[in-house]
Amino acid sequence: LESAKCALKKKFNGKNVVVIDVLRATTVMVTALENGASCIYPFKEIDEAKEKWRAKKDGFLAGERRGLKIEGFKFGNSPLEFTKEAVQGKEIFMTTSNGTRAIENALSADNLYIACYLNISAISEKLLESEKDVVILCAGTDDEFSLDDSLCAGMIIKKMSEKIKLEINDLGLSLKKIADLTSDIKEILSESKHYSYLKSIGYENDLEYCTTVDAFSITPFYKNGKIKLPLK
Ligand code: MLT
């Protein structure tokens, strides 16, 4: 298990990496793809996203800074905006403060998956299909550990360890133990930093949605600049 800060210096060749930013970037990605978006292009910088979107002349820009929609973008980073009507068949050019940056830090992975509470079981099953080592990369908030991502990581480890005996590092083990003791995700996260911030700027409904477990069974992955779904 890695935090985004440590990941900057790491290479993940030979490994399957799962990127988590439950509040809210990876929840948005999973939601948009579940609702029929054709793909998501993640970018670290706002200008890069704008430039690529202009060159494509298709789809739309989405993303946030400090949790709020970026000027000139169609959508912010609330998963509730990414409805079927809004995204079906569309390409999304996305930049967020931590989530899209974490993806960029993980590009050396053999396979790079996108997870959040909404697809814990599906991702766990997908990871168990392979013999490769797994790195769970929590985006965190402003390069700091965040409980929202870490608890989700713990729940993935818990799910996987119900099926096979895992060798886990101590950070992973600690998070699995927290997951073992957790029955109410929102209660556990209620005093955490980014959860409290999003609440303070009026995104209570997002918090309810982002902490919903296993609503979907998709396993989005990153390849050649795009996040998309495996072919059925
Ligand atoms: C991020 O990538 O930092 C987050 O998704 C921020 C947010 O809550 O919108």
Which residue from 98, 142, 189 has its CB within 8 A of the most atoms of ligand 1, so it is best to mutate? Answer: 98
CA distance 93 to 171: 33
Residues with CB under 6 A from ligand 1: 21, 23-25, 64, 67, 77, 96-99, 198
**Per-residue model confidence (pLDDT) at position 57:** 83
Expressed in angstroms and rounded, the spacing between residue 162 Cα and the centre of ligand 1 is 30
What is the pLDDT averaged over residues 160-183? 96
Q: Cα of 115 to ligand 1 centre, how many Å?
A: 14
198: CA distance to ligand 1 center in Å? 9
- 143 pLDDT band, cuts 50/70/90, is confident
The CA distance from 132 to 128, in Å, is 9
Return contacts of 125-132, CB within 8 angstroms, 24+ apart.
Answer: 126/219, 127/16, 127/18, 127/156, 127/160, 128/160, 128/163, 128/164, 130/16, 132/14, 132/15, 132/16
For residue 47, how many C-alpha atoms fall within 13 Å in the half-sphere facing its CB?
0
- Overall average pLDDT of the 172-198 stretch: 97
1 confidence band (pLDDT: 50, 70, 90)? low
Superfamily of domain 2-217: ComB-like (3.90.1560.10)
Distance 166 CA to ligand 1 centre (A): 30
Its pTM stands at 0.95
Domain extents in the chain: 2-217
Question: Which ligand 1 atom minimizes the distance to the CA of 67?
Answer: 9
